[in-house]
Amino acid sequence: MEGYLDPLWCVVWFIVMAPFFIFGVIKLRQILRDHPDQKMMVALSGAFIFLISSLKLPSVTGSCSHPTGTGVAVVFYGVGVCAVLSTIVLIFQALLIAHGGFTTLGANCVSMGIIGPLVGLVFWKFLRKLNAGAFISMFVAAFFADLITYVVTALQMALNVMTSVNADFMAAFSNFFSVYAVTQIPLAVVEGLIFAMFAQYLVTARPDMFEIADRNSINPFARSE
């Protein structure tokens, strides 16, 4: 939430976020220029992030748990585009529903729009190379994109209290994540199932979409051909 992070960490997370966001803007412009037929799917990916991540559950003082909705965006368009879409969503949520904030925008984007989705993409690529179906691959990708987001969030909060009040890092991390896990693990399962069913629908309705997804690299700066 606004004002929760020490100013030092606000700056640090903005610096970490910046290269992903900048490359994501470049990549998104390239996709929309070279593949205008993808505009609807890009918009749908952003809508998933906005709608699903707006469903908040109280988790710990000063924060909350919620699904992330980043699975589709990262699988089809890579981490850069996912970071851009997540940033846009986080700005609108800060303005419209007081969810997150502007000082914490960098930290929230790093956890929800970059690192969590990157781990989900790694699992997607791994399972697809093993010839796993779209349902299973998307379930695992969305599950870990959600869950790792909160592992990173717990890490960020532990670093913040360690430097601001000299708390023990491992104890703080354990406390934060144990509280998150109560709500986040079942949320990650539900989110995984929702996106898995959507992927299964695309298998029959738009199988060409998976050719796009399967061209994505594990590299967060993957280009879309």
The pair of three-digit structure tokens given for residue 154, joined into one six-digit string: 């717990």
Range 208-212 contact pairs with CB under 8 angstroms and sequence separation of 24 or more: 209/41, 209/76, 210/134, 212/38, 212/76
Whether 222 and 24 have beta carbons less than 8 Å apart is answered as no
- The conformation of residue 217, written as its DSSP 8-state character, comes to -
Domains and CATH numbers, the chain: 7-213 (1.10.1760.20)
Mean pLDDT, each 10-residue run in order, the chain (225 residues): 79 95 93 87 91 72 71 92 94 81 90 94 93 93 93 89 80 80 82 94 86 58 43
pLDDT of residue 3: 65
pLDDT of residue 217: 46
In the chain, the DSSP E strands lie at 57-58, 64-65
Closest alpha carbon to 55 in 206, 219, 183, 217: 183
